[in-house]
Amino acid sequence: MTQGVEFNRLMLQMRTMQMEAMGKPQPAKPAEPSVNGPGFDDLLKQAVDRVNELQKTTSELQSGYERGVDGIDLTEVMIASQKSSVAFQAMTQVRNKMVAAYEDIMKMPI
């Protein structure tokens, strides 16, 4: 479930950056104390690592099912495969949004 929270936090940061880049006023945020929390790059790396972990787990389950390992049923393999697929698609969309935001920033006049 923490992956969903991390993804939501990442999307919120991206939307904030997009709004700032577009010049739309942001609602005033209360001052937050400086906390040594993870930065944007750390969150992105964690999300990519989580997608990689899901894909490895899916691959292991698929090969185990194909070899006939006891305790691995088809439904478990299919659910893991769908989780992996959705996570990869979400990560691809985040990448596309980041590239689009970067291109928008590069097009801005100085």
Per-residue tens of pLDDT for the chain, all 110 residues: 455 667 777 777 777 776 776 665 556 565 555 567 778 788 888 889 999 999 999 999 999 999 999 999 999 999 999 999 999 999 999 989 989 999 999 998 87
Could you give the count of Cα atoms lying within 13 Å of 88 in the half-sphere of its Cβ?
12
pLDDT of residue 15: 76
pTM equals: 0.60
pLDDT of residue 24: 54
Q: How far apart are CA 63 and CA 74, in angstroms?
A: 11
How close are the terminal C-alpha atoms of the chain, in Å?
Answer: 42
Q: How far apart are CA 12 and CA 64, in angstroms?
A: 38
Are the C-beta atoms of residues 8 and 94 closer than 8 Å to each other? no
Q: Which residue has the tokens 């930065």?
A: 39
pLDDT of residue 29: 60
pLDDT of residue 77: 94
Neighbour count for residue 45 (Cβ, 10 Å): 12
Q: How far apart are CA 18 and CA 42, in angstroms?
A: 20
